[in-house]
Structure formats: structure tokens, C-alpha cells
């Protein structure tokens, strides 16, 4: 893989945001699809599964975002996670920093530097689905060194690990059900994507957005596209997520719905589908009145997977739009940019576009 200028997955791929967030032009969630997954979760009939798959496919094509209800994730699972997460983020900073991520291990706690010029106003915590896994130490194609990423578990609160692991298991099930529906919507076998996840590098991210005294000067998270396959988001009760509408680029506020999850496809699905389904920009606004929490599951392939458009989806009228690249090396470059000022911009899938 040619290492060119770079970017990162749910480690957001930042695009230049103006100093002052626009106060006008953000509309309510007009048209963002809400999909009932009960028929797909229960596997009631092939016809029902195909119907739900068509709804998912339409949402992926028209929005890149949608919300789901009757998704199979127990409500109690999220309640346990929310309680443990909120207790952790309320700990003193020095306690949280005991499990802070590092250049040699990107899992753990991270806080942005809260200065008057800050662009992003948040803290987060990453936990891998697999307790320990190898990952390329460098984006250099000639460097075959691997490092072990491993979960960093805090001592407090004591229920933190159990709550996170339960949430990981349940949201993984939902992510793979969505992967099946996306495959079916493309006319592919339901298990078409499963082989890319034998040693998956999926993780959950717990987000905390403190009250922001100057929300016009900072965002919770700047505008970005997710560099993963797909994201399953428990949005929380406080609004803040905004999506760039594909038809005109206007920012649309995604209203939280009780017991619903918000789903968006990432850049890797965009590559696999040869842009039949495209990842879209989104951001999180700051809030001067209240703090905000969220949690997400990021579905990611194995580090050794070669990314390229699926052969079944490339024909003479729709030739491959991307040259192949290694997922692990791609992500290693993007994560490295979090710790070092590189002499290149963050890598994006667009750098591999033919």
C-alpha cells in the first residue's frame, strides 16, 4: 500500500470547520428513516427479511444514516452501561488518566485539551471487542512489526468491565444483523461480509461531552466521516448529533428516540459497495446548558484485510472506483496522527480513489 496523506475512523476524520459554528440552517430530523427490525430479528419469514433489507438499503443509499427500533439489544444492557460510564467520567481527572491511551496502545481513556482555542469538547474511552489483538505498529509497508493492543480496565467503578463487555456482545449481534441486511439489500448472500471479521478490530467508544461555556467556538466533535464499516450509536437523551443531508449538504439534527439506536455506514462499506452506499459527514454540537453522554459500537474488519470494491458490485458500467489497500496499515497511519504531527494530512479513502 502506498502511504499517502491521511485520516481516521471513529477517531474522526476531521475536515476544516469554521471558528464559529453556524447558528442557522440546522433543521430537525426531516426524513431520517426509522426502521423496525422486529421482523429481521425474529426471522419470521424470508419475505419479511427482504422487506426490512430493502428499507435498510434505501436508508443507506439516500441518507447513510437511519435509526432502528425493536433491535434486540436489551434495555437493561444499556442502563447498566450508562450507569457505569457516567460514574467513570465523574472520577477525578488523575484517576481517569491512570488508564489513558498511549502511542503504543490506542485503547483506553482520552481527553481533549480544553483551551480557549479548542475545536472538540469531549472525553472518550475505547474498549476492544477482543481483549487483546495484534495490529501493525507502523503504516510503512516495509515495516512488518506488530504490537498488541489490549484493554485498559479501571479499578472504579467495579461494575465497569462487566457492563462494557455485555454492551459489546449485544451491540455486536445487532451490527452483524445489520451487515446481513445490507448484504441482502445489495443482492448478495446474507453472510457475504462475514469472512472479513475473523479477527475483527471492533470496539466500543464511551463519550462524555461536558457543558461547553462557548458552544459557538467549539464542537463536541467536528465534522467527519467514520472510517469503519458501520457504527451503532446509543445517542443518549440530549440532542447534539447533526448529519449533513446528501441532497443539499444542510445540517440535519438527529432527534434522540427512546430505546432506538442510530446507525451510519462508514468509509469501508463505501469502498466495498463501490459507492453504491456512501459514508456521510456528521458532527456533534456543544451545549452550554447540560452535559451529554453517548456510547457507540464501531464494526471494523481484521487488520490484515485487503480493502477493495466487491467483484459482484463492479461491472463494465460501474468499474472499481478504488485501488486496493490494507486496512491495518491505513488505520495505523490515522491513529499515529493522534500522537505525532505528521508531515502529511490525515489519510482518507479518497486517496485510494481511481
Residue 48 within any structural domain of the chain: yes
Domain that holds residue 172: 34-352
Whether 319 maps to a domain, the answer reads yes
pLDDT attached to residue 3 = 37
Cβ-in-10-Å burial (0-12, 13-18, 19+) of 12 comes to buried
Asked whether residue 19 is domain-assigned, the answer is no
User: In the prediction, which pLDDT does 30 show?
Assistant: 61
Return the half-sphere exposure (C-beta side, CA atoms, 13 A cut-off) of residue 253.
14
| 2 located within any domain | no
CB contact at 8 A, 152 and 108: yes
Q: Is residue 16 part of a domain?
A: no
Query: Consecutive 10-residue runs of the chain (354 residues): their mean pLDDT?
Result: 34 35 44 93 87 97 97 98 98 96 90 59 93 89 90 97 98 98 97 97 95 72 91 93 94 94 97 97 87 96 97 91 95 70 64 92
DSSP letter (8 states) at residue 248 = T
Element (H, E) at 174: helix 160-185
CATH code, domain carrying 176: 2.60.120.330
d(CA 103, CA 93): 20
Mention every residue, 6+ apart, whose C-beta is less than 8 A from residue 51.
39
- The residue ranges of DSSP E strands in 211-332, in sequence order, are 219-224, 230-234, 241-244, 251-253, 261-265, 282-285, 292-299, 306-307, 325-326
| pLDDT for the residue 259 | 94
Q: Say if 28 falls within a structural domain.
A: no
DSSP string, 318-329: B---B--EEHHH
Is 62 within a domain? yes
**Number of domains composing the chain:** 1
- Residue 338 has a pLDDT of 55
pLDDT at 64: 97
Specify if 163 maps to a domain: yes
pLDDT of residue 1: 40
Amino acid at each position: 500500500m502506498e502511504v499517502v496523506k491521511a485520516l481516521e475512523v471513529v477517531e474522526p476524520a476531521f475536515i476544516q470547520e469554521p471558528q464559529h459554528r453556524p447558528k442557522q440552517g440546522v433543521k430537525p430530523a426531516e426524513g431520517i428513516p426509522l426502521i423496525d427490525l422486529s421482523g429481521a430479528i425474529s426471522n419470521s419469514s424470508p419475505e419479511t427479511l427482504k422487506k426490512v433489507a430493502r428499507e435498510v438499503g434505501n436508508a443507506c443509499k439516500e441518507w447513510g444514516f437511519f435509526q432502528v427500533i425493536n433491535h434486540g439489544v436489551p434495555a437493561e444492557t444499556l442502563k447498566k452501561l450508562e450507569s457505569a460510564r457516567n460514574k467513570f467520567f465523574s472520577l477525578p481527572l488523575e484517576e481517569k488518566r491512570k488508564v489513558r491511551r498511549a502511542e503504543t496502545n490506542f485503547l483506553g481513556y482520552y481527553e481533549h485539551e480544553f483551551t480557549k482555542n479548542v475545536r472538540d469538547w469531549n472525553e472518550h474511552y475505547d474498549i476492544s471487542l477482543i481483549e487483546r489483538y495484534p495490529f501493525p505498529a507502523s503504516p510503512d509497508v516495509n515495516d512488518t512489526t506488530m504490537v498488541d493492543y489490549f484493554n485498559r480496565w479501571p479499578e472504579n467503578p467495579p461494575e465497569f468491565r462487566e457492563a462494557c463487555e455485555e454492551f459489546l456482545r449485544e451491540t455486536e449481534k445487532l451490527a452483524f444483523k445489520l451487515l446481513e441486511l445490507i448484504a441482502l439489500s445489495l443482492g448478495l448472500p446474507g453472510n457475504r461480509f462475514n469472512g472479513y471479521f475473523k479477527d475483527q478490530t471492533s470496539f466500543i467508544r464511551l463519550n462524555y461531552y461536558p457543558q461547553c461555556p462557548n458552544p459557538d467556538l467549539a464542537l463536541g466533535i467536528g465534522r467527519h466521516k467514520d472510517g469503519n464499516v458501520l457504527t451503532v450509536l446509543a445517542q443518549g437523551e440530549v440532542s447534539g448529533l447533526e448529519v449533513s443531508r446528501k441532497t443539499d449538504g444542510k445540517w440535519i439534527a438527529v432527534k434522540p428516540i427512546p430505546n432506538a439506536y442510530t446507525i451510519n455506514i462508514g468509509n469501508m462499506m463505501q469502498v466495498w459497495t463501490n459507492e453504491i452506499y456512501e459514508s456521510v459527514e456528521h458532527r456533534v454540537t456543544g451545549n452550554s446548558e447540560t452535559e451529554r453522554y453517548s456510547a457507540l459500537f464501531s464494526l471494523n474488519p481484521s487488520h490484515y484485510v485487503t480493502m477493495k470494491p466487491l467483484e459482484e458490485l463492479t461491472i463494465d458500467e460501474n468499474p472499481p472506483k478504488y485501488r486496493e489497500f490494507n486496512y491495518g496499515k491505513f488505520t495505523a497511519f490515522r491513529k499515529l496522527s493522534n500522537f505525532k504531527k505528521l508531515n502529511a494530512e490525515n489519510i482518507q479513502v479518497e486517496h485510494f480513489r481511481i
